Amino acid sequence: MPVLGDQYQVGMQDENTVPPGAQVTGFRRETSHNRGVQLRYSYRLYPSPGQQIALARAFGCARVVFNDALQARQAAFAAGEPYVTDAELSARLTAVKKTPERAWLAEVSSVVLQQALADLNTAYRNFFASVAGKRKGPKIAPPRFRSRKDHRQSVRFTANARFAVLDNGKLRLPKIGDVAVRWSRELPSAPSSVTVIKDAAGRYFASFVVESDPGPLSGTSRDCGIDLGLTHFAVLDDGTKISSPRFLRRAEKKLKRAQRDLSRKQKGSANRAKARIKVARAHARVTSARRDFHHKLSTDIIRESQAVYVEDLAVKGLARTRLAKSVHDAGWSAFVTMLEYKARLYGRQFAKIGRFEPTSQVCSACGVKDGPKPPAVREWQCAACGTVHDRDVNAAKNILALGRRERLNASGGDVRPGPALAVAGEAGSRRGAA
Residues with catalytic roles: 227, 311, 392
Pick from 120, 128, 129: nearest CA to 156 = 120
Per the CB < 8 A criterion, the answer to whether 189 and 40 are in contact is no
Q: What does the DSSP 8-state code read for residue 273?
A: H
The number of angstroms, rounded, from the C-alpha of 201 to the middle of its chain's C-alpha atoms is 20
State how far the Cα of 120 lies from the Cα of 136, in Å rounded to an integer: 20
Q: What is the H or E stretch that residue 337 is in?
A: helix 332-345
Per the CB < 8 A criterion, the answer to whether 280 and 151 are in contact is yes
234 by Cβ neighbours in 10 Å (0-12 / 13-18 / 19+) ranks as buried
Using DSSP, state whether 179 is helix, strand or coil. strand
Per the CB < 8 A criterion, the answer to whether 416 and 401 are in contact is yes
In the chain, what is the greatest distance between 2 CA atoms, to the nearest angstrom? 98
At 120, the amino acid letter reads L
Beta strand 223-228 with 307-311 is parallel
47 by Cβ neighbours in 10 Å (0-12 / 13-18 / 19+) ranks as buried
Using DSSP, state whether 153 is helix, strand or coil. strand
Measured from the Cβ of residue 141, the count of other Cβ atoms closer than 10 Å reads: 10
State how far the Cα of 71 lies from the Cα of 62, in Å rounded to an integer: 14
State how far the Cα of 117 lies from the Cα of 33, in Å rounded to an integer: 34
State how far the Cα of 413 lies from the Cα of 405, in Å rounded to an integer: 8
Long-range contact pairs involving 237-242 (C-beta distance under 8 Å, separation at least 24):
237/393, 237/396, 237/397, 237/399, 237/400, 239/390, 239/393, 241/392, 242/297
416 by Cβ neighbours in 10 Å (0-12 / 13-18 / 19+) ranks as middle
